[in-house]
Amino acid sequence: MKSVLKWNSLKLALLVGASTLLFSGSSLAADPPKELAPFIEPVNERVAKTWEFIIAPYLVGANITGTSQVGRLPATNIDVGTSDILSNLRFGFMGRAEAVYQQRFGAMVDVAYMNLANSTDALLPGGRIRVGGDQLIVEGMLLYRAYSTQQSYFDLIAGARYWDINLDFNRTGTVAGNFYISRGADWIDPVIGVRGFHKLNEKWSVSGRGDIGGFGAASDFTWNVQAGVGYHFNEVWSTHLQYKALGVDYSNGKSGIDSFAYDTVTHGPLLGVVARF
């Protein structure tokens, strides 16, 4: 009797086990294992663009300090503040445009022009001298993007900086009477430098640029440094606040009435709007 019960219990256990395996197999057959979704690497939208274009009008609250010498006149100190420039500004324009191909190669053009009435006034032995004039600076640069990510880039730049400076000297109160002299010069300096950009988060970024040039080819030396922060409204529009300083030491090497020398630093806060597309 006990052996019969044991046998029946064993058969029942085998049937339950077989049923479990059968239904489990059916369930597995009905629901095959799901395939894992393929990993898609995030797209770097900036790098993915074939071309990127930038248009950036800006304004510099400029201060111009240094010395200038024209003809047989003694060297004149130039110390023009932002308020002097704004009150004597006849016309001005500043802006930058650039294009970058596949985030690797590019070109940019920067234009800054100011036309000033008598903006500095100095006492000299035997009279007074007032200085005005205009200053045009045009930069043409090629760039190589040595490093680029979604948040940052670092560029090597090389090109030329064109200067066109005209100064008006109005001297009064001298023994020989009053006189007016207008002289100018233009030249082109080779320039090399670097610039960088890093986006801190969705809204804020930092950027900077530095370059040197001249090397005796035209001016003895020219340099430029600028750095600041940017605020990004969206992927297209942003505004940037930097401090910029641009220096030059130029002399045409002539003597007498044809001599012209210009050794100045133009510096001040820069506020610009950038459209990137």
- Tell me the pLDDT tens digit for each residue of 4-34: 445 455 454 544 454 444 444 444 444 555 5
Does the pLDDT value for residue 3 go beyond 80?
no
The mean pLDDT value of the chain amounts to 83
Summarize pLDDT for 194-252 with one digit per residue, the tens.
999 999 999 999 999 999 999 999 999 999 999 999 999 999 999 999 999 999 999 99
Considering the domain architecture, whether residues 145 and 14 belong to the same structural domain is answered as no
In a domain, 41, yes or no: no
Q: How many domains does the chain have?
A: 2
Q: Does 109 map to a domain?
A: yes
CATH for 96: 2.40.128.90
Q: Which residues contact 58 (CB under 8 A, 6 or more apart)?
A: 94, 95, 96, 240, 270, 271, 272, 273
For residue 217, being part of any structural domain is answered with yes
Query: Are 29 and 145 part of one and the same domain?
Result: no
Distance separating alpha carbons of residues 208 and 243, to the nearest angstrom: 9
**pLDDT per position as a tens digit, 103-136:** 999 999 999 999 887 655 555 555 566 777 899 9
What digits encode the pLDDT tens for the residues 143-197?
Answer: 999 999 999 999 999 999 999 999 887 766 655 567 677 888 999 999 999 999 9
Please report whether residue 43 resides in a domain. Answer: no
What's the pLDDT score for residue 104? 97
Domain match, 14 and 110 both: no
pLDDT at residue number 65: 94
Q: Is the pTM of this model over 0.85?
A: no
**pLDDT, mean of residues 258-272:** 95
**pLDDT of 44 over the 70 cut:** no
Strand ranges, E, within 125-252: 127-148, 152-172, 179-199, 204-213, 221-232, 237-251
pLDDT at 45 over 60: no
Tell whether 172 is covered by a domain: yes
Q: Which domain holds residue 85?
A: 53-276
